Amino acid sequence: MTVTTRFAPSPTGRLHVGNIRTALHNWMWAKKHGGRFLLRIDDTDAERSAEANVTAIRDDLAWLGLGWDGEARQSERFALYEERFAVLKAAGRVYPAYETAQELDLKRKVLLGRGLPPVYDRGALKLSDAERTAFDAEGRQPHWRFRLDHDTLIVWQDLIRGEQRFDPKLLSDPVIRRADGSWLYMLPSAIDDVEMGITHVVRGEDHVSNTAAQLQMFAALGAEAPQFAHEALLTGSEGKLSKRLGSLGVDHFREVGIEPVTLIAKLARIGTSDPVEAVTDPQPLIDSFDFAHFGRAPARFDEAELAQLNARIVHQLDYAVVADRLPAGMDEAAWVAVRPNLETVVQAADWWAVVEGPIAASDIGDEDRTYLVEAARAAAQIDWSADPWHALTGALKETTGRKGKPLFLPLRRALTGRDHGPDMAALLPLIGRDRALARLAAAA
Ligand code: GLU
């Protein structure tokens, strides 16, 4: 059995951080087991689905590095659903229902008013042939429900939530098809999970009661059900399900300089008993990925923490990973020199501008001017081929008697125009002799 997972977004919008997390966990589980990760576009709802969203979903997954091994689109599989529907209908597992939305709403309100769970009363199953014919004659189009088997308790071992039990009598027979013939999510999804050989379904816990009904659909289709892992939902930093999370997608993260691997490192681990770690490669996360480590409490997604994690990851990124995003001419030595001072890769350009100049005039106090004249003289004499910063500061220490901040800070200011920044020992060789001499002379 090849472990096969799927990510099944409805293309009604862009992916948000919650969807990205679901996609990631499905991908990781497949990778961990040398299995397959499939992309399924759940676009049965033609009106709400948009092609631009499908393209964006693919782009977002590609940016994240979550490659998929196959793709399916529900809108191309209607013939299959029709076929399975006919089988279920012949077996009496789907049935037409004629209630209008208002009638259903009224039934619900009556039950709730009596303090009862608002479970559909199966009124449609009690219709006589004559009543049904009369509805048809009236031109009422039925919608279709899946008839749950009330005699079998629904039980499954959820990989995250443990044993789950549902009494089917307390569930409404789910509507699977609208009066206009269009499909709701539940049945096509179960049919596809069977046809695509899905072994594990990883999704949010908002789907738990769907799973109860879908387990009966798998049985009615004569198929073995996949295993399920329902994860606790994400909350914002304030601990509540936040609107903002629903609008945070790849575009936003890219714009603020978050690396794909940062998102992966964060989303792989929040809500689990494993610590979030600053990794530059998802492999160790895949190796240790385990549903048993997931908690039942909502996972807290904090953007400030994400930014800090990003900085720690950027500090370790190899030149090859970032080279195509660096300014022209910025080589490996320059990257390694500035990397520890960055929060995002884009900021490397600021330091490259400092290396190349021109730099902003720095405010040098009068007490430092003669010191810088001396520095310019020393800089002209030192050996620039090995370690010019230590050669320069060593020489100046001797000739001026300065040490510590008075020794270093005026040099940093004169050479970079700033008070803080990357290690001068790494920066000075990049600035080079000619520019350094000119900057020291200009500042003096
Ligand atoms: N299209 C469904 C959704 O986006 C898929 C749920 C599932 O993974 O089965 O909620």
pLDDT in tens, 317-333: 999 999 999 999 999 99
| Residue 249, token pair as written in the block | 């997608």
CATH of 80-177, one of 3.40.630.10, 3.10.450.50, 3.90.800.10, 3.90.650.10: 3.90.800.10
Of all protein residues, the one whose alpha carbon is nearest to atom 4 of ligand 1 is 9
Q: What is the pLDDT of residue 307?
A: 98
Q: What is the pLDDT of residue 255?
A: 96
Q: Answer whether 18 contacts ligand 1 (Cβ < 6 A).
A: no
Mean pLDDT (whole number) for 377-383: 97
The domains of the chain are located at 4-71+187-232, 80-177, 357-443
pLDDT in tens, 303-320: 999 999 999 999 999 999
Instruction: Provide the pLDDT confidence category of residue 360 given band limits of 50, 70 and 90.
Output: confident
What global pTM score does this model have? 0.93
Q: Answer whether 185 contacts ligand 1 (Cβ < 6 A).
A: yes
Instruction: Provide the pLDDT confidence category of residue 428 given band limits of 50, 70 and 90.
Output: very high
CATH placement of domain 4-71+187-232? 3.40.50.620
Q: How remote is the CA of residue 407 from the centroid of ligand 1, in Å?
A: 63
Q: How remote is the CA of residue 8 from the centroid of ligand 1, in Å?
A: 5
Inform me whether the pLDDT recorded for 185 exceeds 70. yes
Please list, in sequence order, all residues whose beta carbon lies within 8 angstroms of the beta carbon of residue 205, skipping any fewer than 6 positions away. Answer: 161, 230, 231, 232, 233
Largest distance between two CA atoms of the chain:
111
Mean pLDDT (whole number) for 160-186: 97
Instruction: Provide the pLDDT confidence category of residue 435 given band limits of 50, 70 and 90.
Output: very high
**In contact, 375 and 413? CB cutoff 8 Å:** no
Q: Answer whether 6 contacts ligand 1 (Cβ < 6 A).
A: no
* Sign of CA pseudo-dihedral 358, 363, 366, 371: negative
69-83, 245-259, 262-276: least confidently modelled range: 245-259
Percent with pLDDT over 70 in the chain: 100
Q: What is the pLDDT of residue 158?
A: 98
Q: 160 to each of 33, 167, 200, 426, how far by Cα in Å?
A: 18, 20, 12, 49
Q: What is the pLDDT of residue 361?
A: 78
Pocket residue to mutate for ligand 1, from 189, 202, 205, 228, most atoms within 8 A of Cβ? 189
Mean pLDDT (whole number) for 176-192: 97
Strands 162-166 and 299-300, bridge-based pairing: unpaired
DSSP string, 21-88: HHHHHHHHHHHHTT-EEEEEE----TTT--HHHHHHHHHHHHHHT---SEEEEGGG-HHHHHHHHHHH
Read off the DSSP letter of residue 328: T
**Long-range contacts made by residues 400-406, C-beta under 8 angstroms, separation at least 24?**
400/371, 400/374, 402/371, 406/368, 406/371
Q: What is the pLDDT of residue 237?
A: 80
Q: How remote is the CA of residue 28 from the centroid of ligand 1, in Å?
A: 18
Q: Which fold has domain 357-443?
A: Arc Repressor Mutant, subunit A (1.10.10)
Instruction: Provide the pLDDT confidence category of residue 241 given band limits of 50, 70 and 90.
Output: low
Q: Answer whether 42 contacts ligand 1 (Cβ < 6 A).
A: yes
**In contact, 343 and 307? CB cutoff 8 Å:** yes
Q: Answer whether 203 contacts ligand 1 (Cβ < 6 A).
A: yes
Q: Answer whether 7 contacts ligand 1 (Cβ < 6 A).
A: no
Q: How remote is the CA of residue 209 from the centroid of ligand 1, in Å?
A: 13
Q: How remote is the CA of residue 378 from the centroid of ligand 1, in Å?
A: 69
Phi-psi region of 92 (alpha: psi -120 to 50; beta: other; left: phi over 0): left
Q: How far apart are CA 292 and CA 160, in angstroms?
A: 6
Q: How far apart are CA 435 and CA 382, in angstroms?
A: 15
Binding residue per annotation — 126? Answer: no
Pocket residue to mutate for ligand 1, from 12, 15, 41, 42, most atoms within 8 A of Cβ? 42
Three-state DSSP class for residue 420: coil
Q: Which one, of 374, 364, 376, 370, lies nearest residue 398 by Cα?
A: 374
Inform me whether the pLDDT recorded for 72 exceeds 70. yes
Q: How remote is the CA of residue 18 from the centroid of ligand 1, in Å?
A: 12
Mean pLDDT (whole number) for 424-438: 97
Instruction: Provide the pLDDT confidence category of residue 36 given band limits of 50, 70 and 90.
Output: very high
Q: Answer whether 43 contacts ligand 1 (Cβ < 6 A).
A: no
